[in-house]
Structure 1
């Protein structure tokens, strides 16, 4: 006698419909975001020689992710949001500022990488862990920016319409 012959597992609600693009894009963006923060947490825990101001880059990249993804594509096109003090122009300005903050954090991380860890010669003499600290800062910002792009442009918004 089989104890589980009358037991059926319920199907996962997320994967019942034919539309899996939003789910996969959200999962992939979350993994990119997690991986970005994991790089810098690992580097700070192992080396601990990251400049205090360098953490601002990751915080600003996270703020950029929130800014870019708080405006829907329909609001940017002017299809759903026409009120407020600026209407679609305000949504476009907010999206633009979000991308500016994201690019600025990526450029700042690249600057810190080369100014503090590559050109100063700290990596000479077998001290590759110091170079890895700068690379991890850049990778953190690159992964968070990639997560922002995947989460913004990887999903469709025509689900409810």
Structure 2
């Protein structure tokens, strides 16, 4: 009996999250982990270097979070016009809403990159600027994963 055989008889109980289609579960967990890591990075930088991140710079992350909510509140069926007939603008309104959401997300990444290179590149602790950029990049990646990696076949 060697080291290779010591875990042969160990069995874990089945997890309800991973029964059936696992794609939505994995996509949701990865997107949530990236979103958490983004905010955690900025909060860590703000606590390690207090006063180095002005209050206005937090708005990039808030805009990225609003972008995540806006992008993922519109289903693909609403974008195609299959199930969405109501509202004041119908399918066109859903497409405008998701476009504005994507613009906000990419603008928050570009804004945080501009803040990194204009303010923090010449200061001694670079970490607050890098954390601000990482936060917005991770939130944007999280939004994209949560939108496009899930399958909506199970919903309707």
TM-score strictly above 0.5: yes
- What pairs up with 1:84-123 in 2 under 5 angstroms? 84-118=87-121, 121-123=122-124
Partners of 2:75 and 2:60 in 1: CA distance: 25
Partners of 1:58 and 1:160 in 2: CA distance: 30
Other structure's SS at 2:102 match: helix
Would you say 1:37 and 2:39 are equivalent positions?
yes
Partners of 1:154 and 1:66 in 2: CA distance: 16
Match of 2:126 in 1: 131
* Structure 1 alignment gaps of length 5 or more: 1-8, 124-129
Match of 2:150 in 1: 155
Match of 1:77 in 2: 80
- How many residues are treated as equivalent by the alignment? 145
Partners of 2:155 and 2:148 in 1: CA distance: 17
Match of 1:140 in 2: 135
Match of 1:14 in 2: 17
Match of 2:3 in 1: none
Give the TM-score, by structure 2 length.
0.89
Give the TM-score, by structure 1 length.
0.86
* Structure 2 alignment gaps of length 5 or more: 1-11
- What pairs up with 1:37-76 in 2 under 5 angstroms? 37-48=39-50, 49-76=52-79
Partners of 1:153 and 1:16 in 2: CA distance: 21
CA RMSD of aligned residues (A): 1.4
Per-residue CA distance 1:104-136 (angstroms, 9 max, x = gap): 111110111011011xx223xxxxxx2111000
Partners of 1:82 and 1:56 in 2: CA distance: 34
